[in-house]
A = this chain, B = another copy of it.
Amino acid sequence: MQRAKVVGKLWLSSAHPYIEGYKILILCDTTSGEENYYLAVDSVDAGFDDEVLTVSGSASRQSGATKKSPADTAIIAIIDQEK
């Protein structure tokens, strides 16, 4: 599980039918101090600059929304930054 900030969106010109229709966001890891970019399928309608919680591996296909996708990383929550 990692914390990350949404910094962009990926546009696909040719995609495997299994990944079509999924929104793939570009994230910057905020768990550690280092600047580390990675990609994840969105399942909570996250927006630009939101801080989110992501999971990796088979865990990213545990939710109904991503169950049959070839996702290996998924956004599963938006983090509340006021607390």
Contact = CB atoms under 8 A, between A and B. Distances in A.
Contact of A1 (B14, B55, B72, B80): B72
Output the residue of A1, A40, A64, A76 with the most chain B CB within 10 A. Answer: A1
- For this chain, the copies found in one complex come to 5
Interface size class of A (residues with CB under 8 A): 35 or more
Contact of A60 (B13, B15, B70): B70
A32 B26 CA distance: 11
A83 B18 contact: no
Interface of A: 1-3, 10-16, 18-19, 24, 31-32, 36-41, 43-44, 53, 55-65, 68-74, 76-80, 83
A76 B19 contact: yes
Contacts of A73: 1
